[in-house]
Chain A
């Protein structure tokens, strides 16, 4: 999966036709074969752009900063990224007419060790669902494999799960990188900041991490697209996908197989309801 040439051609064309102000893609870090997001503003910088199986980040996260807001943007999206883009469009965070989207039919990306990432092995929607131009085969197979980690965790007893997650919350340093790296966390005032550690309040505790991560993952429930930007950003390497995959599975099983951002105009699971929703847990 190497679309470097095609993406460079598209970007050159868009700049020549004056269709975009900025192109958001990937470039090499300059030290190794890892990649970082690149905001390209002039056609002379276009040769920096690359795309291959090391292009891990979800670029729709870069639609919410000052460099791209209210500008005409060219953007590269893989399958999962296009789902979060779809949600951003539905939630009126970006305007479709200002975007030129290069969709990728994605064959999966790899982590630092060169292994295919877990979310790619379980990828449900590999081909982009929103695009102006698609690179690759549009009719890629969709699958739904239940995440093995949540299955293992669900098979454990309550006390074991509690011990496991206590350690997770303990190791969180409350840096909020997970929130900042998530494309769907765009609130100007975020309610988990209420317990962000400052020099004085000493709020960097297991308790505040519990509060923040639970609130955060519930805000992403029914919206999270499993791009794992959050997990890649976490300096403590916490298994944040456990929360998201669990919520995703609860929602999929109980609310008419809802999957976030797959259909145009489809909102998150908490913004709609059905008469068939389970009621048996309520007295």
Chain B
């Protein structure tokens, strides 16, 4: 099949120059049963990860409405990370399969309208994967630092 949707060109010129002390804000939406427990384990094992992530706990990755991602990008976030259980491990059996579909479409659509693909990221982190969680957060933070602050469609730019 001829594909058009997998060939988006995503080179980004920084939109605005970041102030020297700028730190990105990343909204991390984690599922209660795997990824949140995984992030807990990261903490209890005293692994270091960047403090840029602001964690929100949700019951399941399929609770993550596409709207949450749009709202995050529109308000404070420079990037969003959503994390849930590995396929097959969902506490509610199939929640993450539904979520996976929505995530792909949301990511592609936001990329289509002008957000760099690295601003919206997803991961599967199980309750036993503390080190993986630290790695994921470091990677996302690195990616977003490279892209610089997000100012596109920010609410405060318009409400004066």
Contacts and interface: CB of A to CB of B under 8 A. Distances in A.
Interface of A: 146, 150-151, 153-159, 161-166, 169, 191, 202, 205-208, 210-211, 214-215, 217-218, 221-222, 243, 246-247, 249-251, 253-255, 257, 269-271, 273-275, 277-279, 281-283
Given A158-B11, A162-B152, A207-B154, A146 B4 contact: yes
A158 B12 contact: yes
B159 interface: yes
Contacts of A159: 11-13, 114
Nearest to A283: B123
A154 B7 contact: yes
By Cβ-Cβ distance, the 7 closest A-B pairs, closest first, are A162-B114, A205-B158, A273-B97, A283-B123, A210-B153, A165-B113, A282-B122
Given A153-B112, A281-B104, A283-B139, A207 B157 contact: yes
A80 to B, nearest CB: 21
A250 B108 contact: yes
Interface residues of B, number: 52
Interface in B57-113: 66-67, 70-71, 74, 87, 94, 97-98, 100-113
A190 B23 CA distance: 35
Given A162-B152, A246-B108, A211 B74 contact: yes
B65 to A, nearest CB: 9
Contacts of B124: 282-283
Nearest to B121: A283
A90 to B, nearest CB: 17
Nearest to A192: B67
A207 B108 contact: no
B104 to A, nearest CB: 6
Main secondary structure of the interface of A (DSSP, over half): helix
A221 B105 contact: yes
B5 to A, nearest CB: 5
B16 interface: no
B10 A158 contact: yes
Nearest to B135: A283
B45 interface: no
Given A154-B4, A155-B7, A277-B101, 20 more contacts: A146-B4, A154-B7, A157-B9, A157-B11, A158-B111, A158-B116, A159-B13, A165-B114, A191-B67, A210-B113, A211-B74, A250-B105, A255-B101, A270-B105, A277-B100, A277-B104, A278-B104, A281-B103, A282-B123, A283-B121
Contacts of B71: 211
Interface of B: 1-13, 66-67, 70-71, 74, 87, 94, 97-98, 100-116, 121-124, 136, 139, 152-155, 157-159
17 contacts: A158-B111, A159-B114, A162-B114, A166-B114, A205-B159, A207-B159, A211-B70, A243-B112, A243-B113, A246-B112, A247-B108, A250-B109, A251-B105, A270-B105, A277-B104, A282-B103, A283-B123
Determine which residue in A169, A221, A273 has the highest number of CB atoms from chain B within 10 A of its CB, and name it. Answer: A273
A178 B139 CA distance: 39
Given A159-B13, A218-B66, A269-B101, A249 B153 contact: no
Nearest to A257: B1
B112 A154 contact: yes
B154 to A, nearest CB: 7
Contacts of B116: 158
